Structure 1
Amino acid sequence: MNYLELLPWDIQADIFLRLDPADRASLRQACRHMRQLMDDPTFWRHQMVRLSSIRRFREPLWRLIRQRNIRHVEVHPTAKDLSQDAASHRHNLVWNDLQWDELAENIPLLETITTPLKCDKNKGLPEGMRSLEHLEVLNVHSILYADDRLFCDISQLSSLRKLSVEILCVDVIVERTDALRQLARLPNLEELSLSFRRYVLLPMSKLALQHLLYHLPKLRRFALRKCSFRFPDISGMFIAPPVLEDSPPMPERDPNVRSNFAQLTVEEGASGESEKPERISRLNLEELDLSGTLHHVLNEEAIAALQSLQIFRLQTHGIDELLESFLTSCLTKWANLRELDLRNATAPAEVFQHVPLSLRIIHLNLTEIEFGLSIEALLKLSERCGTTLTDLHLYGCTNLNKIGNLPDWFPNLHRLSLHGDLELITRDILCRLSEMEFLQELDVRECKVQPGKDVWQILASLMGPKTRIVIESEPQT
C-alpha cells in the first residue's frame, strides 16, 4: 500500500478508475492517503469538483481544470482546515473576493456553485460570482448576516434555475424594503429553498413570499425550512392575491450592479417595463418542504391551492392536536401526491386510510406512536396502497416484531430502509425480508441488531445480487 501512495496522481487515478465501488471503498478504508486525495482534481467526476481553497493554484492546475471541463464547484473546508479553525466560526473559512475573481476568470462557464458565504453590510455576492453569466444553480449557506443587497445581487443572475439560501441572521431592512420580492426577477427559477434561522419574520415577509410564489411561473419546488413568523399562520402565502393587487413596486435595481437580466428586443414589442414579472393565476408547485416552519395548520383554501403537489415534507411543532384533520384534508385533496415525508411528524394511524392511490414513496415515523397503533398505521397504509408502494422508510421501528410481515403488506417494494433498535427481533423474522422479490436496496445503516449477529450477511446470500444491502455509509466519489 505504501508503494501505491508513491505513484504519480494520474497513475493513482487510473488505478482507482479500474476498481469497482466495493474495492474503492476498501481502498479508502485501508489507505489514508487515498482518503486525503478524494478531493484532488485527479479524482473528479461528472464535471464536478470539491475545493477547499484555490490560493495556491498555479497555471498547470487551472489548465487541468479547463481540460476536465469543470462546470460544478462545491466549496468545502477540509478536515484539516476545520481542526485548525475549530474555535472560530465556519464563515472564517469562506473564500474572499480575490478567490472568486480568480475562479470566475478561469472557469467562466460555471453552472453550479455550493458555498458558505460571508456578507458584510451593504455587500452581497462577490463580484466574481455575479459575473458568471451561465450560472444555473446557486447554493449559499452558513450566512451569518444578510441585508437587502444580497437579494439584489442574486436577482441579477437571470439564468438561475435553482436557488438555495440559508441565512442565520436577517437585517430588518430585508423586510421593510420587500427585498425578497426581487427574486421574482428570476424568470427561469424552478427550485427555491429559503432558511432563516434564529429570527422571527414579520408579516411583510409573508406577503413577499406570496408575491414570489405567484410571480415565478416556472417554480415547481419550494422549501421554507426552519423559519419562524410572528404570526404563525402562513396560509395566506399560498392563496392567490386579489386580481387587482395593488402590490408595492419592485425595488429599483442598483445602477452600480451589472445586470444580466434578459431583455426583450424592440422588435418583439418590448417596453421599458417588460422586466416586471408576470403574475400567474394558480400555483403549479410539485414539491413543498415546510420542515421546521409549519407552526400552524394551513387552512382549506391554502390546501386547495396546493393541489398540484407531488411531494410533501413536514416537520411539526405544536400542531399535533390538529395534525389528523390537517393531513386528512391534504391527502384527500392532493390526488397527485406520490411522496410523503413524515419522518419528523407523528401522524395518527387513521390518517393513512386517506392516502391517495398515487402514493409511491413514504417516510414514516413510528417513534412516538404506541406499539399497537404503529402496526395499525402500517396495516391501513397496506390496505390503501400496499401493492403500489415502491419505497418505504421506517423511522423508530424499535423492536417492531411485525417487521416480518412487510413482504406480505408491501410485496412490490424496491427500496426499504429501517431505523431503530432491533436487538429483540429474532434472526428468522428478519430473514423474512428476503421474500421481497422486487427489492433492489435494503438500507440498515441506522439499524441495530444483536452483537455478533450475521443476519445481514445471511440476508445478502438469500437475496442474491439483485438486492444491495447498505450496512455502512460509503464515502462519496
Structure 2
Amino acid sequence: MGLLELPWDIQQVIFSKLDSRDRAALRQVCQRLCDTMDDPTFWKSQIVRLSSIRRFREPMWNLLLHRNIRHIEVRPSPDETLESHRHNMVWNDLEWEQLIENLPGLKSITTPLKCDKNKGLPSGMQELEHLETLTAHSILYADHSLFRDVSRLSSLKQLCIEILCVDVLVERTEALRHLAMLRDLEDLELTFRRYVLLNKQAFQYLLYHLPKLRRLALRRCCFRFPDISVIFSQPPPELVTEAASAPAVPEAAFIYGQAPEEGKPADERAIESAEPARVIRLNLEELDLSGTLQHILNDEAIAALDTLQIFRLQTHGIDDDLADFFRKCLGRWKVLRELDVRNADLPAEIFRHVPASLRIVHLNLTYTSDDFSVEALLILADRCGSRLQGLHLHGATPKHMEKLYYLPDWFPRLTHLSIEGDIGKISREVLCRLGELDYLHELDVRECKVQPGKDVWEILASLLGTKTRVSF
C-alpha cells in the first residue's frame, strides 16, 4: 500500500515497466479494491479506523462523506507504535481540524489524547457540535482546561476518559463540576492509571446535576477518606443552597495566573456560569466501582442506588464487613440483573439474598472453601436457576470442571458461559452434558491458562451444533 502514496507520474512510470502478466494482475487487484470500497456491506457499520489522515486527498474525503461515516476510531499504525513514544501517537490540532472540516457530522470518536497544560482538547475537536460519544484513552495530562472543554460538547451522551496523569490542582479543586453542564449525559466512565485524591463533594454535585445519567464507572479513584458514601447520598439542604449561590466552577484564571477571558461574548460567559438543575434522586442503572471502593457504603447510599440493574466490583480494598455489605445491597436492589463479584471473598450463603431478577453472575471459584463451587451454584440454582442466562466462572481448576456436569440441570436456559483458570482435563461425560445446554449461544474459554487441547473444544463444538460459538 506504500506504492499508493507515490506521485501519480512516478506510478505511471512503474506501471509502464511491468510486463503484461503483472499489469493484468495489478488491474485485477485494483478492481477488487474498488469493488470492495463500493460494497455497501463494507460500510454498513458507519465506522472507520484511522492511523493517519495527513495524506488524505479530496477523493478519499468524498468517499467517507458519501458513506455516511459517523464513527471514527483513531489508532496509531504498528510502525508508529514501535518507533514512537506514547506522547507522539496522537493527532495534532491540524489533523483534527482537517477531520472536522471534512466530516462535520461525526457522532462518535475513540482516540488517545495528549493534552498540554492549559490547552484542553484539540481546537478542532471542540467544534464537534453533534458529537454524542467521546472515548479518550491514554490521556497524558488532565487539568482544569480539559474538563472545561469537554463540558462544551453539549450533545455528549457517553463520555469515557482514561487518564494517566492528573494535575494536582484537579485533585484540590472541583474541576469535575464542569461536567455537570452535559445535561444529556447518560454514560460516564472515569479511569485513572494511578491513584489520585479527588474531591468527594465535586462528585456528589456532579451526580446530582446530571438528570439523564444511567451508567457510571469510577475505576481506581482515590479519596482522602475511604468512605465514599457521600457521593451517592442526598446533599444536605444547606449544601444545596450554598452550591446554588456559588459559581459553577472555580476561576481558572485565578488558579493558573492567566488573564481573564475578557474577549468572550457575554452570552457565552452566561452559558458557562449557568447553574444546572439538581435532580431529586439518582436513577443509576449500572455502577462499576472496581479499584475505587475501599470502604463499605452506608445504608443511605445503598438506598440511593436501589435502581441498579448492573453492579461490578472486580477489585476492591474492603477487608471487613464485605459479606454484610453485600447482604444489605442484594436485599435492597430488587431489579439487579447482573452481578460481578469475581474477586470478592464471599461466603456461599450470601447468594441466598440475590433477587429473582438476576440474569448474569460472575463468580470466583477459588476464593472460599472447597465446597463453595457446589454450594454457591446450588443456591443460585434455587434462587434463579431457570432464569439465569449468563454464568462466568473465574479461578476454575480441574476439580471444579467436574461440577459442570450438573450445569444443564441447575441452569437449563444458559445462553453465555465463560470459564477462566487452569482447567486441565475434561472428562467425556462432562463434554456430553455440556452439549445438552440447548440455549447456549456462546462458550468462551479464551482466558483459560491451562486448557485440555483444541481437539476437546472441537468435539464440544460439534456436540453443541452451529447455534453455539466456542471461543478458545
Same fold by TM (over 0.5)? yes
Give the alignment partner of residue 101 of structure 1, picking from 97, 109, 120: 97
State whether structure 2 residue 131 is matched by structure 1 residue 135: yes
> What is the CA-CA distance between 1:225 and the residue it aligns to?
0.6
Q: In the aligned structure 2, how far is the partner of 1:272 from the partner of 1:53?
A: 35
Q: Does 1:152 align with 2:153?
A: no
Q: How does 1:288-303 map to 2 (within 5 A)?
A: 288-303=287-302
Aligned-pair CA distance for 1:372: 1.2
Find the counterpart in structure 1 of residue 374 from structure 2: 375
Which moves more between the two structures, 208-217 or 59-68?
59-68
Between 1:424-433 and 1:211-220, the stretch displaced more is 424-433
Q: Kindly tell me: are residues 5 and 312 of structure 1, through their superposed partners in 2, closer, same or farther at Cα, counting changes over 3 Å?
A: farther
Q: Does 1:65 align with 2:64?
A: yes
Q: Residue 181 of structure 1 aligns to which amino acid in structure 2?
A: R
1:210 and 2:229 matched: no
For residues 267-282 of structure 1, the aligned pairs below 5 Å read 275-282=274-281
Distance in 1 (CA, whole Å) between partners of 2:288 and 2:132 is 21
Matched AA of 1:210: Q
Rate the CA distance shift 1:168–1:374 in 2: closer, same or farther, 3 A. same
Specify which of 197, 201, 205 is matched with residue 197 of structure 2.
Answer: 201
Cα deviations across residues 427-457 of structure 1 (Å, max 9, x unaligned)? Answer: 2212210111211221222236665562222
- The whole-number CA distance in structure 1 between the counterparts of 2:107 and 2:221 is 28
Query: What's 2:352 paired with?
Result: 353
After TM superposition, the structure 1 = structure 2 runs for residues 28-47 of structure 1, keeping only pairs within 5 Å, are: 44-47=43-46
> Do 1:390 and 1:412's aligned partners in 2 also have CA atoms closer than 8 Å?
yes
Q: 2:187 is aligned with what amino acid? A: E
Shift of 1:13: 7.3
Aligned to 2:463: 462
Q: Which runs of 5+ in 2 are unaligned?
A: 1-21, 253-259
- Contact 1:324-1:351 at 8 Å conserved across structures: yes
The 1:428–1:7 alpha-carbon spacing in structure 2 relative to 1, beyond 3 Å, is farther
Q: Distance in 1 between matches of 2:336 and 2:264?
A: 42
TM-score for both structures, normalised by structure 1? 0.85
Alpha carbons of structure 1 residues 279 and 452: separation in structure 2 relative to 1, 3 Å: closer
Name the CA distance, whole Å, in 1 between partners of 2:26 and 2:419.
Answer: 38
In the superposition, the TM-score normalised over structure 2's length comes to: 0.85
In structure 1, stretches of 5+ residues that fail to align are 19-40, 264-270, 472-477
Q: Cα offset for 1:197? A: 3.0
Deviates more, 1:296-305 or 1:370-379: 370-379
- 1:6 and 1:359 mapped to 2: Cα distance? 57
Task: Identify which of 224, 228, 231 aligns with 2:225.
Answer: 231
Paired residues, what number? 435
- 2:73 is paired with a residue of what secondary structure? strand
Offset of 1:16 from its aligned partner?
10
When Rg is computed on C-alpha atoms for both structures, the one with the higher figure is 2
Q: Does 1:403 align with 2:404?
A: yes
Which residue number corresponds to residue 365 of structure 1? 364
Residues 298-342 of structure 1, C-alpha deviation per residue, up to 9 Å, x if partnerless? 111111110000000103333143211111111000000001112
Corresponding position of 1:249? 247
Equivalent pairs: percent with the same residue?
61
RMSD of the TM alignment (CA)?
2.8
Q: How does 1:13-92 map to 2 (within 5 A)?
A: 14=35, 44-85=43-84, 88=85, 90-92=86-88
Contact 2:426 2:452 in 1 (8 A): no
1:189 maps onto 2:190 in alignment? no
Aligned to 1:116: 112
Match of 2:32 in 1: 11
Distance 1:464 1:306, change over 3 A: same
Change (3 A) 1:250 1:145: same
The CA deviation string for residues 98-134 of structure 1, in whole angstroms up to 9 with x for no partner, is: 1001001010111101111111111100110000110
One-letter amino acid of the structure 2 residue matched with residue 304 of structure 1: A
